[in-house]
Chain A
């Protein structure tokens, strides 16, 4: 079983050991993760590939402190996320993690700018919300409500919101899942730019293998376990991706 462990001396941000997660969906018991061992490194852009139900979202949610494992270890640097309290997890999300969700999860009653502000207001060293929106090329749509924007624009607001607090880690769950290819490219470009310019460790979930070529590393999940890890020495830009 290949582990996502590299024996180099890179700065380890996340480390998981024998990570399992079981939850109940109605009456069905779902074994989402069945023992995942992995490491993620500072500044890298990782793509998590896998079919629906492979456990990639669960893995990402546990890394982001949105969920806790059933068993096994998960560390963010020295922080034990598996045994963290509710408050510790809240602070962890608040100060270190930026999330981008497949369905944007924007607050419908707030404008683009306000959707970003709601996060920067509770962060310690955020960028200006306007700057965050400029980073994703939305400097001219600050005062639009989610309902007035296209899917791609909404997702870019979500990205701006995620990065505006200057997080150490950016976690994206199918950020292009609900978008057409043209819009998807724009969103991916935004992600790549942030990864490069800010050096934010970025993990992106997708089931679209074509996207994998823009990553530093590709971790493939299947059936709740890591099935393959691939180091990409030849990163391409999102424009070059063939959908």
Chain B
């Protein structure tokens, strides 16, 4: 080995602690990058493969009742690939030992074969035997929630008749990755179940013999889906066909897609922020490291080593650390990415996982890191070799110390001599001090970003389910019902108070933009369900006009006073123009709101309601559920507490999983940065501090000078870091998808405190490690060598 490379190896060995800390920062940055992006890839790839393998439909539509003979005509529409006509019906279920109301959706499957569209992935048991009329296949999430297995039985109320069913299989379907009850906002795996039964059996039970009420189809590649939808709507219009929808409006897909979008944003942002910070720190650390080698650089040059040779030597030094960091980061990133993808696969109950590491991802991570390292090294080496060796070997001229701003305003009167030294040292090299402060601040910011999600989510839940939605139970009627039905609900023992609502599915239009949602009509004087303004105060329902969720206003580019076109998608399907009165602050879901009477007028109907919100005495909870289950007009019952826990189990869990990984990596970065700052400060000042020891300063006194400097830098960095953290968080939230929920920028003082404490803890730990080195300074060496 060439001697200069021996030097390389020995130098690396000698500074392994520092090299290791740098390596960890790089590895954490790279791992975040690779983990995030490969997980995103895996989720998308797996989803696409699942959709493709199980022929997930491209178009969905429902009718009241259409003859089976129409199927051939639908198949004949140009561009349509495969069609499945189905019977889909809401049912009420009774599960053994479970008291809350459970509703379900039964979907028909062909008697003798798997459906052409939305195929099932059987996990347990077998397919339906068409000869039997009591067999059912359950969606896996529902089966798991109730621990139902093939052979178990289940009671179903079909059109008022109780029927005992036997579970023969448990399956997955791309159509129901997320199960959301009709009218529900949040997925619910326990109180809502999707199941499949034989076409023939369901046809008979729901008077759909030789008829269907639901169509799903796939389209051939390159076909304009809009054309097909248009023809389909036209064809089915006479059969009560509602708007056919493309896949992007399908509930399960939409929530899943929103999760993926969310991950995409988080992955993109965290990976850029983390890798960026790691790159920045690497740059700072490397250039300071090389600055401490000034004399060796001069000596090498005096021997006749060229600038390029010296540069390559230091580049190699950095490269070893960086490449080791890259390798470890890549390995950890892939490992974490695979782990995270598996967690998500399990979370979504996807039948398999396709985890691939795209070469580009590793390349980009490597390039960014190597680029940062090279720039840092080249600049620093360039600075070191630029000086003629003679000048570099002269001790650096005593740097001009002067009284800085702090001393000029007379504050130092109160400072000790040591503190004055610290302050002058920091003021002397403002750029370097600033870099250190920024480095530590970024580490602190990373902590904030890695931990603030919990605050935002909890705040959102508090407002949404504490201030806005305060009902214990939401009751949904099967169809719009007379107000009188509400009296029946009020009479149930244990119901303390109630409010009614009317909900109408609509398409809202403004200019060329449109959005599928619903208008909810409320009576005034509401105590349970309240819309909030931007100050989170309840808004009165205006007598005329409409309120919009802020997000909807932005999406449709509407402001207060604008007119909006409402296309009702139910009943007589009126189309009306209404004025937007104001915007509603709503974190979860998207909707429009009107006075119920105004909505009734718009619908050209009497005093109709879609359901009610109830406040109940919890002692009567089970009795109330039982009564509601037996009421034929009640389609579903949702308890607020279940919605909250559903949210935590699904959307919030999705975010928490990712953020948990991020928080772990941010701790590593924080520690790596601060330890490096301490170590470099030590190597820069070792000689000065040893001289002071020779002059009679105690170990404690010199420790105070060095560690006091670190403490002071940290002190400056903390507020800045918290501000950076808030800025990064703001940016992340702003870029997150807004469809399902919109996180507010809420960072609790406790999160700031934990981030700051983590940095302080890292500072103290680094100080202790450095302190032990200070105790072993070689005093004799200082006396012998120059300066």
Is B388's CB under 8 angstroms from A68's CB?
Answer: yes
Taking the nearest CB of chain A, how far is it from the CB of B567, in angstroms?
A: 77
* Docked CA distance A61–B303 (Å): 13
Residue of B nearest to A64 (CB): B302
Say if the beta carbon of B147 comes within 8 Å of chain A. Answer: no
Among candidates B7, B295, B309, residue contacting A110 with C-beta atoms closer than 8 Å:
B7
A119→B301 CA distance, assembly (Å) = 11
Q: Do the beta carbons of A103 and B306 come within 8 Å of each other?
A: no
Residues of A within 8 A of B786 (CB): 102-103
Residues of B within 8 A of A66 (CB): 301-302, 388-390, 393
Chain A residues with CB under 8 Å of B393's CB are: 66, 101, 105
- Within the assembled complex, what's the spacing in Å between the Cα atoms of A167 and B786? 27
Query: Of B394-402, B478-486, B493-501, B511-519, which binds chain A?
Result: B394-402
Within 8 Å of chain B (Cβ to Cβ): is A243? no
- B16 to A: closest C-beta gap in Å: 12
**Residue-wise interface mask of A (117-140) relative to B, using a CB-CB cutoff of 8 A (1 in contact, 0 not):** 111011100000000000000000
Chain A residue with the shortest CB-CB distance to B12: A109
Chain B, residues 1-21, CB within 8 Å of chain A (1/0): the string is 011101100110010000000
User: B785 interface residue, CB < 8 Å from A?
Assistant: yes
The listed residue (B2, B298, B309, B391) touching A23 by CB distance below 8 A is: B391
A58: which B residues are within 8 A, CB to CB?
390
Distance of B743 from chain A, by nearest CB (Å):
52
Report B384-432 residues with CB < 8 Å from chain A CB: 388-391, 393, 397-400
Q: Is A93 an interface residue (CB 8 A)?
A: yes
Is residue A75 contacting chain B, with contact meaning CB distance below 8 A? no
CB <8 Å contact, A109 and B397: no
Nearest A residue to B8, CB-CB:
A109
Residue B292 at the A interface, CB < 8 A?
no
Closest residue to B787 on the A side, CB-wise? A103
Asked whether, in the complex, the Cβ of B398 is within 8 Å of the Cβ of A121, the reply is: no
Task: Give bound CA distance, A67 to B786, whole Å.
Answer: 20
Residues of A within 8 A of B302 (CB): 64, 66, 93, 99, 101, 105
Pick from A57, A101, A110, A165: contact of B3, CB below 8 A. A110
Asked whether A151 lies within 8 Å of B7 as measured between CB atoms, the reply is no
CA distance A151 to B307 in the complex (A): 29
Number of A-B contacts (CB under 8 A): 94
Give the residue of A62, A68, A119 whose beta carbon is less than 8 angstroms from that of B303: A119
Q: List 15 A-B contacts (CB under 8 A).
A: A57-B390, A58-B390, A61-B389, A62-B390, A64-B302, A66-B301, A66-B390, A67-B389, A94-B306, A97-B304, A107-B7, A110-B7, A110-B10, A114-B7, A123-B304
Residue B296 interfacial (CB < 8 Å): yes
B305 within 8 A of A: yes
Find out whether the CB atom of B14 lies under 8 angstroms from the CB atom of A109.
yes
Q: Which residues of B contact A52 (CB under 8 A)?
A: none
In the complex, whether B784 has a CB less than 8 A from a CB of chain A is: yes
Q: Complex formed: what's the CA distance from A64 to B390 in Å?
A: 9
| B303 lies within 8 A of A109 (CB) | no
Instruction: Indicate if B299 sits at the interface (CB-CB under 8 A).
Output: yes
Q: How far is the CA of A93 from the CA of B303 in the complex (A)?
A: 6
Q: Give residues in A with beta carbon < 8 Å to B.
A: 23-27, 57-58, 61-62, 64, 66-68, 86-87, 90-95, 97, 99, 101-103, 105, 107, 109-110, 114, 117-119, 121-123, 151, 161, 165, 178
Question: Is B296 a contact partner of A107 (Cβ separation < 8 A)?
Answer: yes
Given A26-B398, A67-B391, A110-B7, answer yes or no on A121-B2 (Cβ-Cβ < 8 Å).
yes
Q: Are B304 and A94 in contact (CB under 8 A)?
A: yes
Residue from the set B303, B399, B785 with the largest chain A CB neighbour count within 10 Å: B303
Query: CB-CB < 8 A to A103: which residues of B?
Result: 785-786
Task: Give CA–CA (A123, B3) in the complex, Å.
Answer: 13
Alpha-carbon distance between A34 and B94 when the two chains are bound, in angstroms: 106
What residues of B have a CB within 8 angstroms of the CB of A26 in the complex? Answer: 397-400
B-side interface residues, number (CB < 8 Å)? 33
Contact between B3 and A151, CB atoms less than 8 A apart:
no
Contact of A27 among B3, B4, B296, B400 (CB under 8 A): B400
| Interface residue from B7, B400, B784 paired with A118 (Cβ < 8 Å) | B7
CB atoms of A121 and B4 under 8 A apart? yes
Which of B2, B4, B299 has the most chain A CB within a 10 Å cutoff? B299
Q: A64-B302, A90-B301, A109-B10 are in contact. List 17 more A-B contacts (CB 8 A).
A: A26-B399, A57-B390, A58-B390, A62-B390, A64-B390, A87-B306, A90-B305, A90-B306, A93-B302, A102-B786, A105-B298, A105-B299, A114-B6, A118-B4, A118-B7, A121-B4, A122-B304
Assembled-state Cα–Cα distance A89/B217 (Å): 79
B residues within 8 A CB of A91? 304
When distances are taken between beta carbons in the complex, the residues of chain B under 8 Å from A92 are: 304
Instruction: Report the minimal beta-carbon distance from B393 to chain A, rounded to whole angstroms.
Output: 7
Chain B residues contacting A102 (CB-CB under 8 Å) are 786
CB neighbours of A97 from chain B (8 A): 304
The smallest beta-carbon distance between B108 and chain A, in angstroms, is 78
Chain A residues closer than 8 Å to B309, beta-carbon distance: 122
Task: Give the interface centre of B7, B299, B302, B393 by most chain A CB atoms within 10 Å.
Answer: B302
| Chain B residues with CB under 8 A of A93 | 301-304
Given A66-B389, A67-B390, A105-B295, also A95-B398 (CB < 8 A): no
List residues of chain B with CB within 8 A of the CB of A90: 301, 304-307
- C-alpha spacing A103/B687, complex, angstroms: 15
A207-B601 Cα distance, complex, nearest whole Å:
109
Question: In the complex, are the beta carbons of A67 and B388 less than 8 A apart?
Answer: yes
- B427-472: which residues lie under 8 A (CB-CB) from chain A? none
Q: A26-B400, A67-B388 are in contact. Are A94 and B303 (CB under 8 A)?
A: yes
Q: How far apart are the CA atoms of A203 and B786 in the complex, in Å?
A: 22
Contact A114 B304 (CB under 8 A): no
B19 to chain A, nearest CB (A): 14
Interface residue ranges of B13-33 to A (CB < 8 Å): 14
- Residues of chain B with a CB closer than 8 A to A122's CB: 303-305, 309
Please, which residues of chain A bring their CB within 8 A of the CB of B2?
A: 121
In the bound complex, how far is the Cα of B301 from the Cα of A86, in angstroms?
Answer: 11
| A102-B786, A105-B295 known; A86+B7 contact, CB < 8 A | no
The answer, among B7, B295, B388, for a CB contact under 8 Å with A109, is: B7
Chain B, Cβ-Cβ closest to A147: B781
Question: Which 5 residue pairs are nearest across A and B when measured between Cβ atoms?
Answer: A94-B304, A61-B390, A109-B10, A67-B390, A66-B390
Bound-state CA distance A5–B398 (Å) is: 38
Cα-based distance from A95 to B304 in the complex (angstroms) = 7
Let me know if B305 and A151 touch, CB within 8 A. Answer: no
Per the bound structure, the CA–CA distance linking A102 and B391 in Å amounts to 15
Chain A: CB-nearest residue to B295: A105
Chain A residues with CB under 8 Å of B299's CB are 101, 105, 107
Closest residue of chain A to B296 (Cβ to Cβ) is: A107
Contacts of A117 in B (CB 8 A): 3
- Mask for B131-158, Cβ within 8 A of A = 1, else 0? 0000000000000000000000000000
The smallest C-beta distance from A208 to any residue of chain B, in angstroms, reads 17
Q: Would you list which residues of chain B between 734 and 787 have a CB under 8 Å from chain A?
A: 784-786
Q: Which residue of chain B has its CB nearest to the CB of A86? A: B307
Rounded to whole angstroms, the CA-CA distance of A121 and B397 in the bound complex is 33
Inside 8 A of B3's CB, which chain A residues have their CB? 110, 114, 117-118, 121
Q: Give Cα distance in the complex from A64 to B298, angstroms.
A: 13
Q: Give, as a whole number of angstroms, the nearest-CB distance from B580 to chain A.
A: 69
| Chain A residues closer than 8 Å to B399, beta-carbon distance | 26
List of B residues within 8 angstroms of A151 by Cβ: 784
B683 to A: closest C-beta gap in Å: 13
Cα-based distance from A118 to B496 in the complex (angstroms): 91
CB distance from B128 to the nearest CB of A (A): 76
Task: Give the chain B neighbours of A68 by CB distance below 8 A.
Answer: 388
Given A67-B390, A109-B10, does the pair A99, B400 have CB atoms closer than 8 Å?
no
A161 partner residues in chain B, CB cutoff 8 A = 303
A26 to B401, CA, bound (A): 10
- Whether B389 pairs with A109 at a CB distance below 8 angstroms is no
Give the distance in Å from the alpha carbon of A22 to the alpha carbon of B492 in the complex.
101
Q: What chain A residues lie within 8 Å of B303 (beta carbons)?
A: 93-94, 99, 118-119, 122, 161
The distance from the CB of A51 to the nearest CB of chain B, in whole angstroms, is 17
* Smallest CB separation, A28 vs chain B (Å): 8
